[in-house]
Amino acid sequence: MRAVLAAVAFAMALATAPKAAHAGRPCDTQQSTAGEVMQGMALAEATARALDRSGAQVVVLARAGQDLSRYQLRWSHIGFAYRSGDGDGAHWRVVHKLNHCGTAEGAVYRQGLGEFFLDRPHRYEAAYVVLDADAQARLLPVLRSNAEVARWNEPRYSMVAYPWATRYQQSNQWVIETMAGAMDHRAARSPDPRRQAQAWLGAQGYEPHVLRLGALTRLGARVGMAHVAFDDHPNHKRFADRIETVTADSVFEWLARSGLGEGRPTIVRP
């Protein structure tokens, strides 16, 4: 009981502190309520139990940070959850990329499940896909190393970054490029490792999600948001209102289709 109370107190401290980085949900300064904190912690606890039951060491974990249903998307943000430690001391950690709120930069963070779900999500649900055994074995040492998880990060951030370019990178794109880098031994030795990672993803059949965004929508987003850019998209696609980007849903579909993930996502609710 004392440990639970300490965790809730820590969560409350996080919730009332200014939020410095966000991904998969709008940026705002509104503080989380006690009820939101409790819901987030309940979801974190339910997710930990589900991951323990899965027997996995590494999964791709998603949250619903904002409502993207108008784009036919259910999940907004993914990261890697991995088992840290052994025996009774083992626990789950999340490595994911976050956008520095209101800026054009992003960085990779290592958090607990509680922190991952305390960002006032649109929906208190999670989803995960267990990766196949080979992918787990290759990714686990990468995720445990600060240097390795930063290897595939591009600080220049655009939430609609083009999947086959290296000018920018968004949060979900970092996940699949890091996975590609771990799976393809050539990527680490390549003079352009992100290009090599993207080539591997293409060879493995990854297909991005297509957003239909008109010119006025693109102009408004580019003028009003520092973390949105379209100049890495090919002109013939951009001017046809065809914006391709990496989404959580497209990653889940690809993992199932390619066999790199063990089936469809498992949904978790508190």
pTM: 0.86
| pLDDT given for residue 82 in this prediction | 98
Listed in sequence order, the residues at least 6 apart from 8 whose beta carbon sits closer than 8 Å to its beta carbon are: 37, 38, 41
Structural domains in the chain (count): 1
DSSP string across 183-221: H-HHHHH-SSHHHHHHHHHHHTT---EEEE--HHHHHHH
For residue 76, count CB atoms less than 10 angstroms from its CB and return exposed for 0-12, middle for 13-18, buried for 19 or more: buried
Whole-angstrom distance, CA of residue 120 vs CA of residue 123: 8
SS3 content of the chain, % helix, strand, coil (to 5): 45, 20, 35
| pLDDT given for residue 100 in this prediction | 82
Question: What token pair was written down for 242?
Answer: 């065809």
Maximum CA pair distance of the chain?
A: 59
CA–centroid distance for 33 within its chain: 24
Choose among 216, 159, 219, 151: nearest CA to 187: 151
Whole-angstrom distance, CA of residue 68 vs CA of residue 260: 25
Range of the domain at 111: 2-268
Listed in sequence order, the residues at least 6 apart from 79 whose beta carbon sits closer than 8 Å to its beta carbon are: 60, 61, 94, 95, 96, 97, 116, 171, 175
| pLDDT given for residue 11 in this prediction | 33
| pLDDT given for residue 130 in this prediction | 98
CATH code assigned at 185? 3.90.1720.10
| pLDDT given for residue 20 in this prediction | 38
Q: Over its length of 270 residues, how does the chain's per-residue pLDDT go in tens digits?
A: 333 333 333 333 333 333 334 454 445 556 778 888 899 999 999 999 999 999 999 999 999 988 989 889 999 999 999 999 876 678 999 999 999 877 899 999 999 999 999 877 889 999 999 999 999 999 999 999 999 999 999 999 999 999 999 999 999 999 999 999 999 988 778 888 999 999 999 999 999 999 876 554 544 444 457 788 889 999 988 878 889 999 999 999 999 999 999 989 999 998
Measured in degrees and rounded to the nearest 5, phi and psi for residue 88 equal -65, -20
